[in-house]
Chains A and B, each alone.
Chain A
């Protein structure tokens, strides 16, 4: 039986409906972005154009805060995705349908990816709007002069993809939701570290470097679903066996 987007859609729609009615998810999707957009705005309004290096550092911190959103939000959601279903007894009911592991995982991943990227881009738009309207006139041009916009646009979905696959992988191998969520947050951080080095100019930022790193993340994300599907062991998930 070939890969079915109908089954992916069924999982995707179910997940979004479940998110909408889950207070923990609503909190995760609203509180974390709210926190980081507030921090970003504080940085934005504290910026003056006195020193070019300082200006760039401030903008770098603001951008980093914005990139924490696509990193942290999906890891909290996807860490729950498999082990949570197992705990609430719904996993077996799904796995006894014709759904293939890959379809189940892609449906879960898209359901975490879509709202995360929408929220992250919306907040970036808000940030740019606030910079245009309220920040020092030199700030907006500094944001557009360097590769900040490109980094945001490229790395938001790529970091989200990395976090999602790490979260699902950890969830598929965990026996406890809380442990899975803690591990998933840690596992989502390494690529953010690289982006941080770029944002602070520790690694000199350039379009070529940003594109290279983005390509590397894209490859990792592309293989992510296959790697996670390979460790998605139906028998172990159903029986709890560690064999």
Chain B
């Protein structure tokens, strides 16, 4: 697969703020009657970026994908998808430039893999159908299964066929809606590797998921949605924004007087004993403080088992935000 529009791939963690955005979402709201699926959501996605859209079940992720894919009309707000303003009149044009892989693969089970892809290639009005199918199957490592009936494939293989189908039209934006939902760990790993390969080729991907390790591993930036957009940024930025930095200290024997050790260190803003012989120190610069902490511990004859910077995962960020939001809604 060639990168969409021939753009260079963006390395993970790179600055992805670009003027020529693949997606621009501006105060978009979708309501079903009185119930808001999502409300007042704004964000941008740059070309070549892998953008994670996280949120609990019912947060509005799939509805957002369906809206941007012109299947649902927004209640208010505006968006530009692959350079085309979101408008039901422009639906066909937008859908020709993007691809969506829905949560359910949606394959015709009585048709072979190749026949499924041929049907969709026709729907995209592709001319070089055989070549496109061959490239799609090659991208998902399914060339040898082209003549198998889709009904005979495992769920993981069907998901790969769906991904090949989504790649047929070389989309400007590829929407992946919960691509690993219901897959076993091996099939999940396979799909992750395929997405990572697409990312490395510069394909713009909008990935909805509630698997946080998936988002952390694959995405340049993530947005956390729970009807409203709670936070957006790079995973490491979000961690820094939500959590103070710290050091995890473990000693073989609990310190007789930990306050006497840690309170004397100017860099340590606070500390807490998390378990017997385990301490969490709040610091501004872990790299600078760690050697001082080590010296202070050695000075009191403590046996240090470990001294590492506290690592907050994206899951910590997610839980912090979503749990707070759920509690706020209950109040």
Please report A residues at the B interface, Cβ cutoff 8 Å: 1, 4, 6-7, 9-11, 13-14, 17-18, 21-22, 88-100, 234-235, 238-239, 241, 243
Contact = CB atoms under 8 A, between A and B. Distances in A.
Contacts of A234: 71-72
A92 B110 contact: no
A93 B122 contact: no
A238 B66 contact: yes
Contacts of B109: 88
B96 to A, nearest CB: 4
A92 B125 contact: no
Nearest to A18: B110
Contacts of B106: 89-94
A98 B93 CA distance: 7
Contacts of B165: 93
Interface string B94-125: 01100110101111111100010011111111
Contacts of A11: 119, 123
B111 A14 contact: yes
Interface of B: 32-33, 66, 69, 71-73, 92-93, 95-96, 99-100, 102, 104-111, 115, 118-125, 162, 165
A98 B168 CA distance: 13
Nearest to A6: B125
B205 to A, nearest CB: 16
Contacts, number: 90
Contacts of A21: 110-111
A97 B110 CA distance: 20
Given A14-B111, A90-B107, A92-B71, A98 B123 contact: yes
A161 to B, nearest CB: 24
Nearest to B96: A98
B71 A14 contact: no
28 contacts: A6-B122, A7-B123, A9-B122, A11-B119, A13-B119, A14-B115, A14-B119, A17-B111, A17-B115, A18-B108, A88-B109, A89-B104, A90-B106, A93-B102, A93-B105, A93-B106, A93-B107, A96-B69, A96-B100, A96-B102, A98-B92, A98-B93, A98-B96, A98-B125, A99-B92, A100-B92, A234-B71, A239-B72
Given A7-B122, A92-B71, 8 more contacts: A6-B125, A7-B125, A91-B106, A93-B105, A98-B92, A98-B93, A234-B72, A239-B32
Contacts of A241: 32
A10 B165 CA distance: 14
B101 to A, nearest CB: 9
B92 A10 contact: no
Nearest to A21: B110
B73 to A, nearest CB: 7
A232 to B, nearest CB: 13
A1 B123 CA distance: 13
Q: Which of B32, B96, B102 has the most CB of A within 10 A?
A: B102
Contact of B122 (A13, A22, A89, A100): A13
Instruction: List the 6 closest pairs (A to B, CB-CB), nearest first.
Output: A10-B122, A93-B106, A1-B92, A97-B123, A21-B110, A98-B96
Contact of B72 (A1, A90, A98, A235): A235
Nearest to A22: B110
A99 B104 contact: no
Nearest to B95: A98
Contacts of B115: 14, 17
Contacts of A89: 104-106
A238 B71 contact: yes
A89 B108 CA distance: 9
B105 to A, nearest CB: 7
B73 A235 contact: yes
Contacts of A10: 118-123
A235 B104 contact: no
Nearest to B32: A241
A37 B121 CA distance: 40
Nearest to B122: A10
A110 B11 CA distance: 49
Nearest to B71: A238
A97 B124 CA distance: 7
A97 B120 contact: yes
Contacts of B104: 89, 92
B69 A243 contact: no
A4 to B, nearest CB: 6
Contacts of B72: 234-235, 238-239
B68 to A, nearest CB: 11
